[in-house]
Amino acid sequence: DAGVIQSPRHEVTEMGQEVTLRCKPISGHDYLFWYRQTMMRGLELLIYFNNNVPIDDSGMPEDRFSAKMPNASFSTLKIQPSEPRDSAVYFCASSFGGFYGYTFGSGTRLTVV
């Protein structure tokens, strides 16, 4: 199994631009999580899906952030418009059955200048 696959690995964009992060979960996993990691705040859960349905998006910082999961093998996290304070590493993770020991991807390092 290739694990959780995220793309791109690095993204540098200008303030105001739209950014789309992509994630392919492990086949057969029914939960997908989007996290953001910064030095100041650590790991923050942004949103998670169960069977492609968003369950809890209370961690999404504001309306500029949106996430979709059109099918069991693909999810996107979009930021529009992006701001410098969005600079962070964004992780996608997936699991079977919930919060028990899920698998993270390698992350996307986003820099907004």
Partner 1 sequence: GESVGLHLPTLSVQEGDNSIINCAYSNSASDYFIWYKQESGKGPQFIIDIRSNMDKRQGQRVTVLLNKTVKHLSLQIAATQPGDSAVYFCAGLNAGNNRKLIWGLGTSLAVNP
Cβ pair 86, 112 in contact under 8 A: yes
Binding residue (CB under 8 A) for partner 1 from 93, 94, 110, 112: 93
The residue among 66, 111, 74 whose CA lies nearest residue 94 is: 74
Binding residue (CB under 8 A) for partner 1 from 15, 83, 85, 99: 99
Binding flag, residue 28, partner 1 (CB under 8 A): no
Binding flag, residue 7, partner 1 (CB under 8 A): no
Burial class (CB in 10 A: 0-12, 13-18, 19+), 45: middle
Which residue in this structure is represented by tokens 């949103």? 47
Find the angle CA(40)-CA(90)-CA(46) to the nearest 5 degrees.
Answer: 80
Binding flag, residue 67, partner 1 (CB under 8 A): no
Where does this chain touch partner 1 (CB under 8 A) — which range of 12-20, 61-69, 80-88, 95-103? 95-103
Q: Which residues bind partner 1 (CB under 8 A)?
A: 4, 42-43, 45, 48, 56, 91, 93, 98-107
